[in-house]
Amino acid sequence: MHWHCKKRQSRKLYNMSGLGYLIKEGFHSIWNNKIMSIASIGVLFSCLILTGAAAMLSVNVSQAVENVGESNVTTVYLKNEVSSLQAVSVMRDIEKIDNVAGCEFYSKEDAIASFKGELDSVYEYMQGDANPLPNAIKVTMADLAKYDDTIKEIMKIEETDSYSNAGEVAKTLTRISSLIGNMSFWIILVLSIISLFIISNTIRATMYSRRYEISIMKSVGATNTFVRIPFIVEGMFIGLVSAVLSILGLMLLYNILMDLVQSTIPFDAIPFGSVAGVISLCFIVAGVGIGTLGALFSIGRYLKKEGNEILGW
């Protein structure tokens, strides 16, 4: 019996290469704790899908704003009897108004020309004197916040008749988009907290089911870092699975929804592919982050209380 002569040598062999073992332990935990793991994945999945849906909605709305947009250009229509020549002097007057950054004449001929190709019969029928459209001026404003006042000033000019409310639509859409932004911030916050809570509980459950092993590990001199690793692996993996599932789920959901919407209202939806990279990255970072954080919370509490001592005696 000469086990002591090996002492120095075997000491040197201790290092962190047990990492593979610890990672395997993490996966074992997930498997042994299937129901809780599935619940965690479900909650985190729902959280990410909702977040993603809000993001996609937001992106589409701001795209729509841009389309409607050139949003600070307002078309001011002149009265029917106002000729092109008179229009030029009206344009000068408008240019003098505060907050008007620029004007562009948009003649009735230009207006009717826009029907060409799309509505050729109308275009042909309404040439020359038959053109019922008014002359107009495209006004660019410097600051949209002063939109209402500026419009009021413009409408004071006698020759003006009406104005297109593209700016109004843009304003409404912008308001909706920021409302969505605000709401999603809170939804995301609440859901993240819930996910964090569920994941940390799942991992706490694993920890309690393995308290006996942990106490043995601690009694033979395992460091807290070492005890932590399998649980962190568990949290990260739950986060990763949730992220991957929700990326696929969101893609499916988005494509189905957009097909549905586009069959009723024609509009240019942003293709999922164009944002897939960013969304995937965000989801994976968020999922793995929440999973890891949840694990760290529960381990921190456990090791501070029960796990620091060797259980029972």
Minimum CB separation from another protein for residue 61, in Å?
52
Minimum CB separation from another protein for residue 226, in Å?
6
Give CA angle at 277 (42, 26), nearest 5°.
40
The residue range among 1-9, 165-173, 242-250, 269-277 that interacts with another protein, by the rule CB under 8 A, is 1-9
Question: From the list 117, 221, 266, 277, which residue makes contact with another protein (rule: CB under 8 A)?
Answer: 221
Q: In terms of CB distance, is 18 or 271 closer to another protein? A: 18
Question: From the list 80, 172, 182, 219, which residue makes contact with another protein (rule: CB under 8 A)?
Answer: 219
Question: From the list 183, 193, 216, 248, which residue makes contact with another protein (rule: CB under 8 A)?
Answer: 216
State the residue for tokens 């909605």: 57
Token digits for 199?
A: 């994941």
Q: Is 309 in the site for another protein (CB under 8 A)?
A: yes
Kindly write out the interface string for residues 168-207 of this chain, putting x where it contacts another protein by CB under 8 A and - elsewhere: ----------------------------------------
Q: In terms of CB distance, is 16 or 122 closer to another protein? A: 16
Question: From the list 67, 162, 182, 224, which residue makes contact with another protein (rule: CB under 8 A)?
Answer: 224
Burial (0-12, 13-18, 19+ Cβ within 10 Å), 141:
buried
Q: Is 4 in the site for another protein (CB under 8 A)?
A: yes
Helices marked H in 70-165:
84-96, 108-113, 120-125, 147-156
Kindly write out the interface string for residues 6-35 of this chain, putting x where it contacts another protein by CB under 8 A and - elsewhere: xx--xx-xxxxxx-xx--------------
Q: Is 213 in the site for another protein (CB under 8 A)?
A: yes
Token digits for 285?
A: 């970072």
The phi-psi region of residue 9 (left if phi > 0; otherwise alpha if psi is between -120 and 50; otherwise beta) is alpha
Q: How far apart are the C-alpha atoms of 208 and 306, rounded to whole Å?
A: 10
Q: How far apart are the C-alpha atoms of 218 and 225, rounded to whole Å?
A: 11
Q: Is 218 in the site for another protein (CB under 8 A)?
A: yes
Minimum CB separation from another protein for residue 205, in Å?
17
Q: How far apart are the C-alpha atoms of 53 and 117, rounded to whole Å?
A: 37
Q: In terms of CB distance, is 145 or 310 closer to another protein? A: 310
Q: Is 161 in the site for another protein (CB under 8 A)?
A: no
Q: In terms of CB distance, is 19 or 157 closer to another protein? A: 19
Neighbours of 237 (CB within 10 A): 21
Give CA angle at 38 (34, 42), nearest 5°.
175
Altogether, the residues listed in the chain come to a count of 313
Q: Which strands, in side-by-side order, build the sheet including 136-141?
A: 100-106, 136-141, 73-78, 160-163
The residues in 226-265 that bind another protein, with binding defined as CB under 8 A, are: 226
| 3-state per-residue secondary structure call for 145-183 | HHHHHHHHHHHHCCCEEEECCHHHHHHHHHHHHHHHHHH
Q: Is residue 58 within 8 Å of 265, Cβ to Cβ?
A: no
Q: In terms of CB distance, is 9 or 264 closer to another protein? A: 9
Kindly determine how many residues on this chain lie close enough to bind another protein according to the rule CB under 8 A: 32
The residues with which 75 forms a beta bridge, in sequence order, are: 138
Q: Is 217 in the site for another protein (CB under 8 A)?
A: yes
Q: In terms of CB distance, is 169 or 296 closer to another protein? A: 296
Which residues of this protein are in contact with another protein, per CB under 8 A? 1-4, 6-7, 10-11, 13-18, 20-21, 212-213, 215-224, 226, 309-310, 313
